Structure 1
Amino acid sequence: MTLKRRSVSGKKGLVMVWKGVIIEESLEDASLLDSVSLVGYAESFLEEEEGKGVMRFHHFELTDEKKEWFVREAERCLKHGWYIHIGKDDILVVIFKERSFKFSSSEKEKLEEARKYGISVGVIREQMPFEELLKDPFY
Structure 2
Amino acid sequence: MALKDLSLSLQFARFREVARHRAALPRHRVARWIRHALAADGEITVRIVDAEEGQQLNREFRGKDYATNVLTFDYAQSPVVMADLVLCAPVVAREAKEQRKTLAAHYAHLLVHGTLHAQGWDHETGAAEAEAMEAREIEILAGLGIKNPY
TM-score band, normalised by shorter chain: 0.3 to 0.5
Q: TM-score, normalised by structure 1?
A: 0.33
Question: Would you tell me which structure has more strand in proportion to its own residues?
Answer: 1
TM-score by length of structure 2 reads 0.31
